[in-house]
Amino acid sequence: MAKTEFNINDVLENYKRRDEERREFIIHKGRTAMKEIIKEVNQRGSLNEADIYYGTPKPQLSFSDIELGYMLTSMMEYATNHVGNPVDEECELENKLAYFEYKDEIIQIFEVYGQGTDSWFLKPSDDTVYKLSNTAYGVYLNQFDDFINYTINKENESKKVSYGTTILNDIAGGYTVGRGSK
């Protein structure tokens, strides 16, 4: 049997590189990407990574499926951590929703869990837009510019703190455990 070496430094460097790529894309190209996402969703009704490969017609995007994935994942994480997520009661699978507003356009993210996780952007129904704009359901509406600013702040934070500490905080859920702590 062959011996496989596991180098934690390689894993940490790979994590750091992907996290930096994700933040750089969101910070520098996020607004442009959101404009393109909204345009495609308004034309198609929805947009996910598979549409880039298999969509008919193909989406006209200036970014890759990986970068679309960065947007989906990061925006859903932001919504989950800042306002929580409603669910679609009519969906048979476990799911959660997120809503973002950008330049008077509202976009919805739908995430479904089954044998895996799939998520996509879609245009919310008129009823949902009404509820987000005129009822307490509006608590779930995130401002896209707030998401960008949050990402910028996280980037600045990560430059101040050593990356190993940041990863440990991510793993420990933000708790710092020191020697002799209770």
Residue-wise pLDDT for 54-72, tens only, equals 888 889 999 999 999 999 9
Nearest to 32 by CA among 62, 65, 75: 62
Position 171 pLDDT exceeds 80: no
Tens digit of each residue's pLDDT (9 = 90 or more) over 75-119: 999 999 999 999 999 999 999 999 999 999 999 999 999 888 899
The pTM is what? 0.80
Average pLDDT in the 16-36 region?
Answer: 93
Any alpha helices (H) in the chain, and if so which ranges? 8-44, 49-54, 65-82, 126-134, 144-160, 163-171
CA separation for the pair 165, 10 (Å, rounded): 16
Position 163 pLDDT exceeds 70: no
Cα angle 68-143-34, degrees, rounded to a multiple of 5: 30
CA separation for the pair 44, 1 (Å, rounded): 51
DSSP SS3 for 52: helix
Specify the amino acid at residue 174. G
Domain boundary assignment for the chain: 16-156
